[in-house]
Amino acid sequence: MNFTEKLAKISLKNRSLLCVGLDPDPALMPEKIGVFEFNKAIIDATADFVCAYKPNIAFYEAMGHEAVEALHETISYVPKEIPTIIDAKRGDIGNTAKAYARSLFDRFNADAITASPYLGYDSLEPFIERRDRGVFILCRTSNPGAADFQSLPVGEDKKLLYEVVAEKVNEWNKHGNLGLVVGATYPEELKLIRQRYPEILLLIPGVGAQGGELEQVVKYGTDKGRRRTVINSSRQIIFASRGKDFADAAAKAARELRDRINAFWR
Amino acid sequence: MNFTEKLAKISLKNRSLLCVGLDPDPALMPEKIGVFEFNKAIIDATADFVCAYKPNIAFYEAMGHEAVEALHETISYVPKEIPTIIDAKRGDIGNTAKAYARSLFDRFNADAITASPYLGYDSLEPFIERRDRGVFILCRTSNPGAADFQSLPVGEDKKLLYEVVAEKVNEWNKHGNLGLVVGATYPEELKLIRQRYPEILLLIPGVGAQGGELEQVVKYGTDKGRRRTVINSSRQIIFASRGKDFADAAAKAARELRDRINAFWR
């Protein structure tokens, strides 16, 4: 079963488009808890309400070897039916791109990853060619500086750069395993992308802490028939409480957000 | 002493614009040698002929924890006067960008890193604000797919995207610690960039194995007065021999390439 099928299956079973971002931050976690222990409790508490988990590898790398080991453990611990997306935003050339594909897909065993488009097709090919895995390519990100390059008008017909990226990724999507990252903070852009490419996978970060309006995100970012949209929330779920009840609070936050998404999804 | 000064000082002392890429590959290394042991021998053999070392972190990550530890050891082992550039091509937003900055600058203790521009200014700010460190931002890369996005004509005056990236990076270069990555395989683009921005740091990969023409690279990519150009070669140096003489062969290859670069540099 490939990534797209795995995602659709668990999304249907859990009635959920919600992805929980596993981005540990010792300053926001309960005291005296290890990274894996924290993630394990969050996974146990939320596994019935999600369609995917998305650890951002930067947080683990910043904490050093033990945290990177905890990421391995975390991915092994996630129930087999729930896909994991390592948010790595990698992009490099030739042999180096192959090395990243080995690292993320084989060593970490991620079902999907995020990648950066700037270096073009051959930098993405080692990921794309892993047909059973998913690849979400940065398109329109949710940060203030996104407009610096992504919103530049390009070429004769003045499409914006992010639109050209979406167009190219759609062309490259021969195996049906590609997706786009489009931030929740840009609902109009989300609408345009989803209308043009109803079949492509979409990963939408920026709901919650980053302020994306949920109703618009759901209406514009989903499609009716397919479960190919993943709406990510990290801090709002995993740091819902810093007390001993953090896992229960995460479960409650995940269930509520899942249900709010479903209420908007028609 | 900041990165730019450190680079200029060792470049003058070693009369070298050559950076050696420390990209270990067990299939090309001598048999039964560890990653750190290999790097150590290469560094011992080439330290008099280089202005910097550039490990690409992907190769270490692909080999797992022990290799990542070997990268730490390698960076500690490089003589203090020679700067290290971790080729990581990172780019992420907000807290995540800060996490990458901590990981690369504080945990690994790199003097400089490479980063990807697609997410815009705020994704680079945590790197840029480390005034003592260097940041090389991808501009025109040396791979075939680079043209997919980097060569798109942008805006009213039809500059190409990589030119706009260069322009922005130059604007952002308030602390004098920014550079551009421009592949050796595009000498005309290199010429244009160096002419427009004589003061900016340039990292030029793609000499040797990737086929860049050395004479043009040196003539177009350097400036007369300043030592702000770093010409990288990896495989041609470190895998010059796979036998017991690999370190001697690397020394010979590094010295020769340094001297060829100097012969073209007027």
CA-based angle B25:B29:B32, to the nearest 5? 115
DSSP B30: P
Give backbone dihedrals phi and psi of A214, rounded to 5 degrees, phi first: -65, -45
Q: CA of B86 to nearest chain A CA: how many angstroms apart?
A: 13
Structural domain containing residue B59: 3-264
Q: Which residues of A touch B116 (CB under 8 A)?
A: 89, 91, 116, 118-119
B244 is catalytic: no
Q: Which of B89, B98, B219, B252 is catalytic?
A: B89
For B69, the enclosing helix (H) or strand (E) is: helix B65-77
Look at residues A127, A148, A145 and name the one whose alpha carbon lies nearest to residue A137.
A127
**Strands, DSSP E only, in B32-73?**
52-54
Indicate the residue of A96, A152, A154 with minimum beta-carbon distance to B56.
A96
Interface of B with A in 3-22 (CB under 8 A): none
The identity of residue B259, as a single letter, is D
Q: Which residues of B touch A152 (CB under 8 A)?
A: 154-155, 161, 164
Nearest CA in chain B to A156: B153
For B90, the enclosing helix (H) or strand (E) is: strand B85-90
CA-based angle A184:A186:A188, to the nearest 5? 120
| pLDDT of the residue at B210 | 58
Tell me how far CA of residue B229 lies from CA of B80, B116, B181, B192, B257, in angstroms.
20, 19, 10, 14, 15
Q: pLDDT, tens digit, for every residue of B15-31?
A: 999 999 999 999 999 99
Indicate the residue of B62, B93, B144 with minimum beta-carbon distance to A122.
B144
What is the number of H-type helices and E-type strands within chain A?
12, 10
Under DSSP, is residue B134 helix (H, G, I), strand (E, B) or coil? strand
Under DSSP, is residue A209 helix (H, G, I), strand (E, B) or coil? coil
Indicate the residue of A103, A124, A150 with minimum beta-carbon distance to B118.
A150
DSSP string, B182-196: E-TT-HHHHHHHHHH
How far, in Å, CA of A116 to CA of B93, rounded?
13
Dig out the tokens for A79 from the structure: 């129930």
Cβ contact (<8 Å) for A143 and B154? no
A91 at B interface, C-beta within 8 A: yes
DSSP A105: I
How far, in Å, CA of B2 to CA of A190, rounded?
42
Domain total in chain A: 1
Q: CA of B50 to nearest chain A CA: how many angstroms apart?
A: 23
Residues of chain B with pLDDT under 50: none
Indicate the residue of B69, B125, B154 with minimum beta-carbon distance to A154.
B154
A121 at B interface, C-beta within 8 A: yes
What is the pLDDT tens value at each position of chain A, 266 positions in all?
A: 999 999 999 999 999 999 999 999 999 999 999 999 999 999 999 999 999 999 999 999 999 999 999 999 999 999 999 999 999 999 999 889 999 999 999 999 999 999 999 999 999 999 999 999 999 999 999 899 999 999 999 988 889 999 999 999 999 999 999 999 999 988 999 999 999 999 999 999 988 755 568 999 999 999 877 899 999 999 999 999 999 999 999 999 999 999 999 999 87
Give the predicted TM-score (pTM) of the model.
0.96
- CATH number, domain of B143, equals 3.20.20.70
